[in-house]
Amino acid sequence: MTSASLVRGWCPDLFAPMAAKDGLLVRIRPPLGRLTAAQLHVVAEMAESGGNGVIELTNRANLQLRGFSPSSVSAARERAVKSGLTLADEAAERRSALIVSPLAGLDPECAADTLVCAQALRKTVAEAVDLAVLPGKFGFAVDGGGYFPTGLLAGDIVLRARNDGWAVCCGHATTEPASVMNAVGAAVRVARMVALRHPDRARPARIPETGLSLLEEAGLVACSLRVEAVRRPPTVGRLPEGTLGLAVPFGRMHVATLRTLADHLARCDDAVLRLTPWRSVVLAGPSLPGGTMLIDDPTDPRLRVQACTGPGGCARAQVDVAQDALALAMDVPRGRTLHVSGCPKGCAHPGRADVTLCAQSGGYDVIPDGRAGDMPWRSGVGREEIVALLRRLWKERPDVTGERRDA
pLDDT tens profile 177-218 = 999 999 999 999 999 999 987 656 678 998 999 999 999 999
Residue 2 clears pLDDT 90, i.e. is over it: no
Categorize the per-residue pLDDT at 109 as very low, low, confident or very high, splitting at 50, 70 and 90: very high
Residue-wise pLDDT for 121-166, tens only, equals 999 999 999 999 898 889 999 999 999 999 999 999 999 999 889 9
402: left (phi over 0), alpha (psi -120 to 50) or beta: alpha
Neighbours of 172 (CB within 10 A): 16
Residue 383 clears pLDDT 90, i.e. is over it: no
Neighbours of 219 (CB within 10 A): 10
Mean pLDDT score across all residues of the chain: 90
With a CB cutoff of 8 Å and minimum separation 6, the contacts of 402 are none
Neighbours of 89 (CB within 10 A): 15
Gap between the Cα atoms of 192 and 197, Å rounded:
8
Gap between the Cα atoms of 10 and 137, Å rounded:
7
Lowest mean pLDDT among 4-13, 76-85, 297-306, 359-368: 4-13
Residue 8 clears pLDDT 70, i.e. is over it: no
Higher pLDDT: 301 or 314? It is: 301
Residue-wise pLDDT for 218-249, tens only, equals 999 999 998 888 899 999 999 999 999 999 99
Kindly give the pairing relationship between strand 63-68 and strand 157-162. unpaired
Categorize the per-residue pLDDT at 47 as very low, low, confident or very high, splitting at 50, 70 and 90: very high
Within the chain, how many helices (H) and strands (E) appear?
Answer: 9, 21
Mean pLDDT on 281-293: 77
| Residue 233 DSSP one-character state | P
Categorize the per-residue pLDDT at 401 as very low, low, confident or very high, splitting at 50, 70 and 90: very low
Q: What pLDDT score does 267 carry?
A: 85
Q: Residue 319 is which amino acid?
A: V
Residue 7 clears pLDDT 60, i.e. is over it: no
Question: So where are the chain's domains?
Answer: 1-88+244-294, 111-144+153-224, 301-406
Categorize the per-residue pLDDT at 395 as very low, low, confident or very high, splitting at 50, 70 and 90: confident
Please state the pTM of the whole predicted model. Answer: 0.90
Residue 355 clears pLDDT 50, i.e. is over it: yes
SS3 content of the chain, % helix, strand, coil (to 5): 35, 25, 45
Gap between the Cα atoms of 22 and 312, Å rounded:
7
Categorize the per-residue pLDDT at 285 as very low, low, confident or very high, splitting at 50, 70 and 90: confident
First to last CA, the chain: 48
The fold for domain 1-88+244-294 equals Sulfite Reductase Hemoprotein; domain 2 (3.90.480)
* C-beta of residue 64 within 8 angstroms of C-beta of residue 17: no
Q: What pLDDT score does 200 carry?
A: 60
Residues in the chain: 407
* C-beta of residue 281 within 8 angstroms of C-beta of residue 274: yes
Q: What pLDDT score does 199 carry?
A: 54
Q: What pLDDT score does 351 carry?
A: 86
Neighbours of 230 (CB within 10 A): 12
CATH architecture of 301-406: 2-Layer Sandwich (3.30)
Helix axes 180-197, 114-127, angle to 10 degrees: 40
| 3-state SS, one letter per residue, for 302-361 | HHHEEECCCCCCCCCCCCCHHHHHHHHHHHCCCCCCEEEECCCCCCCCCCCEEEEEEEEC
Categorize the per-residue pLDDT at 117 as very low, low, confident or very high, splitting at 50, 70 and 90: very high
